[in-house]
Amino acid sequence: FRCTILLFAPFLSDHGLAIVELLSLLLVSVLWGCTNPLLKRGTEGIEEVSETSRVSQLLAEVKFLFSNIKYLVPFLLNQSGSVVYYYTLSTTELSFAVPVANSLTFLCTLLTGKLLGEEFGGKEAVAGMFLTLAGVTLCVISSIDGQDTGKLNMTQPVL
């Protein structure tokens, strides 16, 4: 991720794509992706919660989750990523923001899961990570090219 930013940083501000937007999308990806495996770990034990009615089951599960610090902290960090994302969407093109944020979130989830000892996925996961980074790089280049030349690129609608 840092490599992608450093590669394009000299060109971004000159071509209309603010570096703040790219850094915001990176922050969103880290907040979402790194908290996904932690949220999964924080829900361990919820299967043991058992109540007689559906409503009381739901309330007991909510109580279990929100009284569990291992769930609550990653949940709040994840939600703060959503706040940053919605703000970033107001200043960034959707055709750029959505694929970049979602693909980098996937990478952050994989890497964090691996650091926590989860199954990684082998060679296919590594190939997928490189393809994802290549796709993000193409999105950045496409955004730079379209704004630099004033010509329409494939992500801009024809009116």
Distance of alpha carbon 92 from alpha carbon 156, whole angstroms: 13
- Please tell me the predicted confidence (pLDDT) of residue 151: 44
Tally the domains of the chain: 1
pLDDT in tens, 48-104: 999 999 999 999 999 999 999 999 999 999 999 999 999 999 988 888 888 889 888
Which pLDDT does position 46 carry in this prediction? 93
pTM over 0.85: no
81: Cβ contacts below 8 Å, ≥ 6 apart: 27, 28, 30, 31, 32, 35
Mean pLDDT, the chain, rounded, equals: 82
What does DSSP assign to residue 154? T
- Residue 158 domain-assigned (yes or no): no
Q: What is the mean pLDDT of residues 115-139?
A: 85
Question: How many residues belong to the chain?
Answer: 159
Residue scoring higher pLDDT (141 or 97): 97
133 assigned to some structural domain: yes
Identify whether 156 is part of a domain: no
CA-CA distance, 109 to 151, in Å (whole number)?
Answer: 36
Q: For residue 26, what are the domain limits? A: 2-148
Mind listing the pLDDT tens digit for each residue in 37-50?
Answer: 999 999 999 999 99
Residue 10 lies in a domain: yes
Task: Write the single-letter amino acid at 134.
Answer: A
Q: Specify if 153 maps to a domain.
A: no
Residue 155 resides in a domain: no
> How would DSSP label each residue in 50-119?
--SSHHHHHHHHHHHHHT-HHHHHHHHHHHHHHHHHHHHHTTS-HHHHHHHHHHHHHHHHHHHHHHTT--
Report the pLDDT value the prediction gives residue 148, as an integer from 0 to 100.
43
Q: Is 154 part of a structural domain of the chain?
A: no
Instruction: Give me the pLDDT at residue 44, please.
Output: 94
